[in-house]
Structure 1
Amino acid sequence: MSDILTYDEMNIGDKTSFGKTISESDVYMFAGITGDFNPLHINKVEAEKTLFKSRIAHGMLSAGIISTTMTQAIHGGTSIYCSQELLFKAPVRIGDTITCTAELIEKIPEKRRLIYKTTVVNQDGVVVTDGKAVMLKK
């Protein structure tokens, strides 16, 4: 039996989660890939002068965790990630373990769209990134 679900097999309330501990190398690699070398992310001395008092991960790094979660939530196949709304609510620090949960909250059958609530929390249960994703399930 295949674990790839069809659009019709997916139900409101279905949830999928994915977590990862954010390492210093994750932050440096993300900076290198994106070119975002903001001292808040890569310079300990400068970051300590900010309101966060230490280096923090790029907000879009937590969005990448959402992307991985969405791949799992749509159960494979040839789905298309149409959009993502994001609210960055708290910093992600190096060493934090963040977990994204995607919950199917709406289906639009005539367009084969799936709407997910996406929530990323840290190891203390603090919401760090909140949003909504729209997927097209072929």
Structure 2
Amino acid sequence: MTSTANGQTSLGHGYYLEDLSPGMEASVSKTITDEDVRTFAALSGDVNPVHLDDDFAAGTIFKKRIAHGFLTGALFSTVLGTKLPGPGCIYLSQTMKFKAPVYIGDEVVATCTISAVDTEKGRVTLACVCSIAGKPVLEGEALMMVDRKPTSQ
């Protein structure tokens, strides 16, 4: 990482298309906190009481508050934008299938694995999974646009 003139941190450029191949993977881990859920609710406007109200959530099938599905899914963006393919890639699409709830205090591991590289179109497809203690809670597929290596002048 390098610092820019305004004090922000730059990760540099991630992988180039030519450096990627099926099977490559990267992960991030995050423990979901009450502050995360409340901040996500404020940012997104999703103030569904199943996320914010203990008494309300106690009366649901979950029995306690759950994290927003898209908060969990945002961990895919963390992997893709910072690790694989990394800085410089552009999200084109993301599917998500929610398999189980995520509770406050759960440690979520998001893993993205390259399943296909389309060198002609400059696209990379990745299988994405969020898991808790090895159990998938969210699965999906991402399609990313990835830069080619710069050509020498």
For this structure pair, what is the TM-score category when the shorter chain's length is used for normalisation?
over 0.9
Aligned to 1:75: 86
Quickly say closer, same or farther: Cα 1:67–1:25, change in 2 above 3 A: same
Greater Cα radius of gyration, structure 1 or 2: 2
CA root-mean-square deviation = 1.2
Aligned to 1:20: 30
Amino acid at match of 1:62: T
Distance apart, 1:126 and its partner CA = 1.5
Residue 123 of structure 2 corresponds to residue 128 of structure 1: no
Aligned to 2:5: none
TM-score with structure 2 length normalisation? 0.85
Distance apart, 1:85 and its partner CA = 0.4
The number of aligned residues is 135
Q: Does the CA contact (< 8 Å) of 2:14 and 2:89 recur in 1?
A: no
Runs (4+) of structure 1 exceeding 4 A deviation are none
Aligned to 2:51: 41
Residue 117 of structure 2 corresponds to residue 101 of structure 1: no
**Please, which of 11, 15, 20 is the counterpart of residue 5 of structure 1?**
15
Distance apart, 1:75 and its partner CA = 3.0
Q: Deviations over 1:82-125 (max 9, x none)?
A: 00000011000000000111000001111100000000001x22
Aligned to 2:150: none
Structure 1 unaligned segments of length 5 or more: list them: none
Distance apart, 1:3 and its partner CA = 7.2
Aligned residue for 2:65, secondary structure, equals coil
Quickly say closer, same or farther: Cα 1:136–1:25, change in 2 above 3 A: same
Aligned residue for 2:105, secondary structure, equals coil
Once the two structures are aligned, what percentage of the paired residues are identical? 35
Distance apart, 1:4 and its partner CA = 3.5
